[in-house]
Copies of this chain bind each other. A is one copy, B any other.
């Protein structure tokens, strides 16, 4: 028994603290988005670049799936892939994101062709996929725990988009609506796995670091956007 082992409550609190400090809702680009201050071009750039993250979610989830030793855990985890890829009669999150793009004025082929994806966004997302490919699976799972913080943010975002960006067609917001019930379920399962599998203080610290790394990925995406799509000062 590791004398320095954190209790489940302590570890959960440490993970939540990572989000409080480093989740991407604190990034200036994101703050401006939720304040309704992004130009249409900046908002479209966010949607088009974030697509590269979205399309890689089932890839990293399949990598984690391939490492989960228990059939029960795989049966839960596979739902994430189905949520994003869709199944017969339900198109899934990637298609929903393409439709969000269309609602913002990004043609489908530009989105699918990754025409607007910045190199730094690609590097950050690829780093996330490779992290999930190469790390022990409980640590890879820990990196998914930004889902702990997502529902609050996403529910705000629906209101923000409806009220502050009325030029976005409201039917484009289905992706966010679906995440409201998917993300809490995913976060519960992810947290359960991390609490169950991280049985030394070292494991626990690695899990916390993994979540911090994932926050860096999301943050880097917004840094790249800030750099490529700076705010234009309106001359007065």
Using CB atoms and an 8 Å cutoff, list the residues of chain A in contact with chain B.
Answer: 58-60, 62-63, 65-66, 71, 74-75, 78, 81-82, 85-88, 92, 94-95, 133
Which B residues touch A133, using CB under 8 A?
66
Give Cα distance in the complex from A95 to B95, angstroms.
Answer: 34
- How far does the Cβ of A7 sit from chain B's closest Cβ, in whole Å? 31
Query: Chain A: interface secondary structure?
Result: helix
Interchain CB contact under 8 A, A66 and B62: yes
Copies, count: 2
Select A62's contact among B65, B75, B86, B94, beta carbons within 8 Å. Answer: B65
Which B residues touch A58, using CB under 8 A?
65, 71, 74
Closest B-chain residue to A92, C-beta based? B71
Select A86's contact among B60, B66, B71, B88, beta carbons within 8 Å. Answer: B71
- How far does the Cβ of A166 sit from chain B's closest Cβ, in whole Å? 31
Closest B-chain residue to A60, C-beta based? B66
Give Cα distance in the complex from A81 to B80, angstroms.
Answer: 13
12 extra interchain contacts, Cβ-Cβ under 8 A, other than A58-B71, A65-B65? A62-B62, A62-B63, A62-B66, A62-B74, A65-B81, A66-B66, A71-B85, A71-B86, A71-B94, A75-B88, A78-B81, A78-B82
Which B residues touch A82, using CB under 8 A?
78
Q: List 24 A-B contacts (CB under 8 A).
A: A58-B65, A58-B71, A58-B74, A59-B66, A60-B66, A62-B62, A62-B63, A62-B66, A65-B65, A65-B66, A65-B81, A66-B66, A66-B133, A71-B85, A71-B86, A71-B94, A71-B95, A74-B81, A75-B85, A75-B86, A75-B87, A75-B88, A78-B78, A78-B81
